[in-house]
């Protein structure tokens, strides 16, 4: 197991509805100590895993959920198979109450099979849960998800939205890297992934420095956070994070939200479109398009376009609803050709 000295900075005194604005603007991750400590689900979990499961099921409506099942010899690692053509787990549909029974059944095993239920909508599957267990972030219109597992390891990955994750039952360890460390994390396939996001191929429990030598440099920039029940962590957009659940039952609730208008498109779609339309061009053309992207996107300054009357700027002007519709329509027409 890797050893990391730098700890994520800790902020105390945060509570639901009382998160300072500077937290949301932080360029680095922050541990929000005791953020969800008052939640009933946290108090139930401190009493026992059985009490936590019983509390959760009072909101459950009986829908099936997606679960990953991994073999004991994988030691909780949710990952690819040896050839990276498939995965080291099976995906099944199950009932939440049955999954909790299976987690309890294996709670005494030193090397249990992995049981992992990820990113399940709280509002759809546990209606009413947020009445008493919520952070009060309605102004951001967050996507609120719940994650349940025994001892599991989720490879380092990134998310585009801002993220506040609360460890409500059990302990979690987050290992985080700034996005600039992407090259040193040896990222796997872009379009075939365990859960939608490209992941690091490095095994953090047993890193192969001969195969992944630049990972040593990534470790120089890593930060680690150990969350107790009730603690939260703020993860800025695009930060890589490796997540470990450390107990026989671990429950996490997270909030994804954006700090840009809802009509903005997904940046990853632009990445795929660029792979399709630009990557295969000549070196000279790629360099030209890089300058084009810098001019219109990455180094965009409104003052650079003052030579064009505002009413004639079109899509290079303000991203109004009308301009957004025009861009979407143009893209749809081109992609459907």
DSSP 44-113: HHHH-HHHHHHHHHTS----EEEEEEE-GGGTTEE-B-TTSSSBSEEEEEEEHHHHHHHHHHTTT-SSPP
- How confident is the model at residue 176, as a pLDDT? 98
pLDDT at 329: 83
Q: Are residues 306 and 275 in the same domain?
A: yes
CATH assignment of the domain containing 192: 2.60.120.650
Clarify whether residues 87 and 63 are in a common domain: yes
197 and 125 in a common domain: yes
Domain stop point among 219, 238, 257:
257
Give residues with Cβ within 8 angstroms of 252, minimum separation 6: 146, 147, 165, 166, 167, 168, 172, 245
In a domain, 167, yes or no: yes
Number of domains the chain is built from: 2
Do 211 and 89 lie in one domain? The reply is: yes
Question: Which is nearest to 264 in space by CA: 283, 233, 237?
Answer: 237
The pLDDT score that the predictor gives to residue 221 is: 97
How far apart CA 239 and CA 128 sit, in angstroms, is 31
In a domain, 152, yes or no: yes
Both 177 and 279 in one domain: the answer is no
Per-residue pLDDT of the chain (337 residues; tens, 9 = 90+): 688 999 999 999 999 999 999 999 999 999 999 999 999 999 999 999 999 999 999 999 999 999 999 999 999 999 999 999 999 999 999 999 999 999 999 999 999 999 999 999 999 999 999 999 999 999 999 999 999 999 999 999 999 999 999 999 999 999 999 999 999 999 999 989 998 899 999 999 999 999 999 999 999 999 999 999 999 999 999 999 999 999 999 999 999 998 776 667 788 888 888 998 999 999 999 999 999 999 999 999 998 889 988 888 888 888 888 888 888 888 888 777 6
How many angstroms separate the CA atoms of 130 and 134, rounded?
5
Tokens of 316: 């290079």
- Establish if 3 belongs to a structural domain: no
Closest to 227 measured CA to CA, from 203, 200, 257, 250: 250
Q: Are residues 246 and 281 in the same domain?
A: no
Residue 52 lies in a domain: yes
* Statement to judge: residues 60 and 203 lie in one domain: yes
Please identify, among 228, 257, 286, the residue that sits at the C-terminal boundary of a domain. Answer: 257
> In terms of domains, do 330 and 284 share one?
yes
The pLDDT score that the predictor gives to residue 264 is: 72
2 in a domain, yes or no? no
Q: What is the pLDDT of residue 311?
A: 85
Whole-number Cα distances in Å, 117 to 64, 244, 324: 11, 14, 36
Q: What pLDDT does residue 322 have? A: 82
Does residue 84 form part of some domain?
Answer: yes
Same domain, 42 and 79: yes
pTM of the entire structure?
0.92
102 shares its domain with 185 = yes
Residue-level pLDDT at 328? 83
174 and 196 belong to one structural domain = yes
Could you list the residue range(s) of the whole structural domain that residue 164 is in? Answer: 9-257
Residues 244 and 280 in one domain: no
């Amino acid at each position: 197991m890797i050893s990391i000295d730098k700890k994520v900075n800790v902020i105390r005194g945060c509570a639901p509805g009382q998160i300072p604005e500077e937290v949301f603007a932080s360029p680095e991750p922050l541990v929000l100590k005791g953020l969800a400590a008052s939640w009933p689900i946290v108090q139930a979990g401190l009493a026992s895993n059985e009490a936590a499961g019983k509390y959760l099921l009072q909101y459950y409506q009986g829908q099936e959920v997606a679960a990953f099942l991994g073999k004991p010899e994988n030691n909780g690692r949710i990952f690819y198979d040896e050839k990276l053509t498939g995965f080291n787990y099976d995906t099944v549909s199950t009932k939440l109450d049955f999954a909790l029974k299976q987690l309890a059944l294996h709670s005494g095993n030193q090397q249990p099979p992995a049981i992992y239920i990820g990113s399940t909508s709280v509002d759809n599957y546990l209606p009413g849960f947020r009445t008493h267990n919520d952070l009060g972030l309605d102004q951001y219109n967050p996507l609120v998800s719940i994650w349940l597992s025994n001892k599991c390891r989720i490879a380092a990955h990134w998310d585009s939205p801002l993220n506040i994750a609360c460890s409500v039952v059990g302990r979690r360890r987050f290992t985080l890297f700034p996005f600039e460390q992407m090259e040193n994390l040896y990222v796997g396939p872009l379009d075939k992934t365990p859960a939608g996001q490209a992941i690091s191929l490095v095994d953090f429990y047993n890193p192969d420095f001969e195969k992944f030598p630049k990972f040593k440099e990534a470790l120089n920039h890593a930060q680690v956070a150990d969350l107790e029940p009730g603690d939260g962590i703020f993860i800025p957009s695009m930060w890589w994070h490796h997540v470990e659940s450390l107990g026989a039952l671990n429950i996490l609730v997270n909030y994804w939200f954006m700090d840009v208008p809802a009509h903005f498109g997904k940046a990853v779609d632009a990445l795929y479109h660029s792979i399709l339309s630009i990557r295969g061009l000549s070196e000279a053309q790629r360099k030209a398009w890089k300058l084009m992207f810098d001019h219109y996107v990455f180094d965009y300054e409104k003052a650079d376009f003052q030579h064009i009357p505002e009413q004639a700027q079109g899509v290079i002007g303000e991203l109004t609803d009308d301009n957004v519709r025009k861009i979407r329509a143009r893209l749809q027409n081109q992609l459907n050709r």
